[in-house]
Chains A and B, each alone.
Chain A
Amino acid sequence: MRARRQLGYSLLEVIISMTIFGTFLAIAFALTAEMRMWERRLPVNFMRHPQIISVVARMRRDVQDVVLVGNNALYLDAHDGYVMGPKVLILQTGLETGSQIIVWDLSESGVVRRVSYNVGVKSVWTAHGVPPEFTAGAKLEAVEFPGRPYGVRLIAKDSHGLVSLDQILQPRSYE
């Protein structure tokens, strides 16, 4: 009986093709692993995040506009249930029509709130979509300059415990 002529690839051809394909796969996996390793070496840069940038910009302007409250204090200890602390900043800013009290609240995961109280009217600006590691590691501190009013320092650490954001905000100087 005569063997039928069968079209197709031989075992050797298939093995070689699979080997080449496997090599490509291995390269792709190696590159991906390398990329992840490199990206882990540096902290996530919060200064690239649009929500965080807007939070920092608005907070900077509020601290610049801060005005004296009674007893020569620039910041309030408490207001409307909020208590000043590492996650809460309470200040009073000047307006053309008077002043307003502003509370910055970083205590909720992934959300930053700016609550303003102007002549009894409360309005809230909320930054949604903030990375949870930002609010988890964010800390507000007082920063002292000799002979000058206290400033505010916003420090945030990423999930690896490395400082990724460190901003010093100062009240505006005026006579």
Chain B
Amino acid sequence: MLPMRDERGFTLVEVLAALLILTFVITSSLWAFLERNKRLQQASEIMLAYQALANEAEYVRRHDFANLGSYGDTFKSGPMLLAPLDDYETAIAVDLVKPGVKNVTMTIRWHHKEREARLGVIRVDTGGGSLF
């Protein structure tokens, strides 16, 4: 009969500690990865939203000063850019700051209204002259 080999290994505590560390490393890597994707997606969405706001600002700039109040909430520049944003809505608020000056605030909300992009334009009544 062969003598029993002297087998040395890890204790249960050591194995459990190693598994705990491994689990922590994997979980934190996964979390960092998912967070990165989430922020990347948000950044892309924000860039699309601000492109849409800048385009709409061009329409707002050219709109008749007197009729700005009836501009409506729909973007005249079209919905093409905003298509990838889920559940989006647009709003345009016009406030008379003082006679001859109006603040136009364009807002896009999406992702169940949790995300928002906003751009303001100050319009001044130039008297409706025939600028070029």
Residue A151 CB within 8 A of the other chain = yes
Question: Interface residues of B, CB < 8 Å — how many?
Answer: 29
Q: Assess A163 versus B83: contact at CB under 8 Å? Given A31-B33, A173-B131.
A: yes
A148 to B60 CA separation, bound complex (whole angstroms):
13
Q: Assess A163 versus B80: contact at CB under 8 Å? Given A3-B2, A47-B47, A173-B131.
A: yes
Q: B55 near A167 (CB under 8 angstroms)? A: yes
* B interface, over-half SS: helix
Q: Assess A151 versus B83: contact at CB under 8 Å? Given A166-B52, A175-B131.
A: no
Q: Per a CB cutoff under 8 Å, which of B26, B29, B41, B131 touches A38?
A: B41
Nearest CB of A to B42, in Å: 10
A-B contact count (CB 8 A): 69
Question: Interface residues of A, CB < 8 Å — how many?
Answer: 33
- CB-nearest residue of chain A to B57: A168
- CB-nearest residue of chain B to A67: B132
Residue A4 CB within 8 A of the other chain = no
The digit string for B26-54, where 1 denotes a CB below 8 A from any CB of A, is 10011001000100110011011001101
Residue A155 CB within 8 A of the other chain = yes
Q: B37 near A35 (CB under 8 angstroms)? A: yes
Q: Assess A31 versus B37: contact at CB under 8 Å? Given A163-B81, A166-B81.
A: no
A168 to B30 CA separation, bound complex (whole angstroms):
40
Residues of B within 8 A of A34 (CB): 33, 37
Enumerate the 4 nearest inter-chain pairs by beta-carbon distance, A residue then B residue, closest first.
A173-B131, A145-B62, A38-B37, A163-B80
Sample of 18 further A-B pairs with CB below 8 A, known A27-B26, A148-B62, A166-B77: A3-B2, A34-B37, A38-B37, A38-B41, A39-B37, A42-B84, A43-B84, A146-B62, A149-B132, A162-B84, A164-B48, A165-B51, A167-B54, A168-B54, A168-B55, A170-B62, A171-B132, A175-B132
